[in-house]
Amino acid sequence: MKEGLNTSLQYISNIKCCESNFLLDLTHFFEVGEMNRRLVLVVSLAVTMVLFNLGAAFLFPGADTSVVTLGVGLAAGIVSAGISLLFGERSEVVSDKRTKKIHNEAMAYSWWIVFIFIAVYFWLDYFGKTKQTAPELASTIFILMTVTYILFWFVRERKGFS
C-alpha cells in the first residue's frame, strides 16, 4: 500500500516536473527565446504572407484578396510557430541586453517607417491618387512593418550595436 502511494507520488512529481519544464520552455520561447528561432519564425511568416499575397488571387478567385491573405498568413504563422517549436534549433544561450536593444531599435524604426507611410498615404488618398481598400491597406502595413523590422534587425545585428 505504502509502496503504491510512493509510486503515485513519484508519478505526480514527475508530471509536475515535466509540466514546469514545458512551461519554462514556453516562457523561454516567447520572452527570451533564442534569436535564430525567432528569426526563422518571423522570416517564414513574412515569406508565407508575401507569397500568399501574390498568389491569393489565383488560389481563391472571387474572394477578397486582402482578407484571404491575412487569414492564411495568420494560419501560416501558427503553423510556422509549431514547426519552429518542434524542429527549431535549441540553444542554452538566451537573448541578452544587446539583442534586446537591437529588437527595440528595429521596432522603433519599423514603426516610424509605417508612420511615414500612413502620412504619405493619407495625402495620396486625399488627392484621390490611390484606391486601396481598408483590408488591403492593413495587409500592406503588416507586411511593411514585418519586412522593415527584419531589415533593421539584420543591419544592426551585423554592425554589433556599439
Partner 1 sequence: MKTRIKEFRARLNLTQEELAKKTGVRRETIVFLEQGKYNPSLKLAHDVAKVLQITMDELFLFD
Considering the rule CB under 8 A, would residue 162 count as an interface residue with partner 1? yes
Three-state DSSP state, 133 = coil
Q: How far is the CB of 47 from partner 1 (least distance, A)?
A: 24
Three-state DSSP state, 94 = coil
DSSP summary character for residue 115: H
DSSP secondary structure of 36-81: HHHHHHHHHHHHHHHHHHHHHHHHSTTS-HHHHHHHHHHHHHHHHH
Q: How far is the CB of 154 from partner 1 (least distance, A)?
A: 13
Nearer to partner 1, 31 or 92 (CB): 92
**88-107 residues near partner 1, rule: CB under 8 A:** 92-99
Nearer to partner 1, 25 or 96 (CB): 96
Point out which residues bind partner 1 (CB under 8 A): 35, 92-99, 157, 159-162
